[in-house]
């Protein structure tokens, strides 16, 4: 059986010139390392400083904010099928995180520290450009998702997810999507059944 390197997906995502640079690839493999997580495990806990970025080879993750009263709010999703880079705003601010990153499927990731990302970026401009673009895409996605969530009714937003982010509907447990939308799980499930029924 063919064994694939945990770096294959990341290198396939990069510009070909960069992925073909043997010196860069050698350094990348020196700095980055694979991480396995089980469903329910946390990559980051509130109060911790996020000092790493992750590339998702397999799995599904959510960002959760918990209020002082213990109320949970889901603030984002990341998966192997779309937006495979995973981090948290603490990575950029250098301050302790107010969020947690939770695996909701068994996952396999590549972990690389901020220090090593900055080192690679300083010496490989193409990597710097690639990584900056990846982060900008994630930030833009978060802003756009929030804009749609605020602009649409609950039913319209679920239709939007079904049309453009079907993997969220199919893979994320209903309670987490409901928490993201700020509605009850029962109301979400009712609307979801109605929408799926109309599309079959």
For the segment 171-196, what is each residue's pLDDT rounded down to a tens digit?
A: 999 999 999 999 999 999 999 999 98
Percent of residues, the chain, with pLDDT higher than 90? 72
Domain at 8-150, CATH class: mainly beta
Give 70-123 pLDDT, tens digit per residue. 888 999 999 998 888 888 877 877 888 888 999 999 999 999 999 999 999 999
Structure tokens at 80: 């192997």
pLDDT score of 50 more than 90: no
- Res 200: pLDDT: 64
- Distance CA(9)–CA(13), nearest Å, equals 6
Quick check: helix, strand or coil at residue 90? helix
For the entire predicted model, the pTM comes to 0.88
């Amino acid at each position: 059986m063919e064994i694939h390197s945990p770096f294959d997906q990341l290198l396939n995502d990069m510009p070909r010139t960069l992925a073909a640079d043997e010196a860069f690839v050698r350094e990348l493999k020196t700095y980055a390392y694979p991480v396995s997580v089980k469903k329910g495990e946390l990559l980051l806990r509130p109060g911790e400083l996020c000092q790493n970025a992750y590339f998702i080879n397999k799995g599904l993750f959510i960002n959760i904010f918990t209020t002082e009263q213990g109320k949970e709010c889901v603030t984002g999703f990341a998966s192997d099928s779309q937006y495979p880079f995973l981090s948290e705003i603490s990575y950029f601010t250098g301050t302790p995180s107010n969020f947690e990153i939770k695996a909701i499927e068994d996952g396999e990731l590549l972990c690389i520290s901020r220090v090593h990302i900055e080192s690679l970026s300083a010496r490989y401009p193409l990597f710097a450009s690639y990584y900056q673009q990846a982060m900008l895409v994630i930030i833009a996605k978060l802003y756009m998702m929030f804009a749609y969530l605020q602009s649409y009714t609950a039913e319209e937003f679920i239709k939007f997810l079904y049309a453009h982010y079907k993997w969220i509907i199919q893979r994320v447990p209903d309670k987490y999507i409901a928490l993201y939308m700020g509605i009850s799980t029962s109301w979400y499930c009712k609307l979801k059944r109605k929408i799926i029924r109309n599309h079959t």
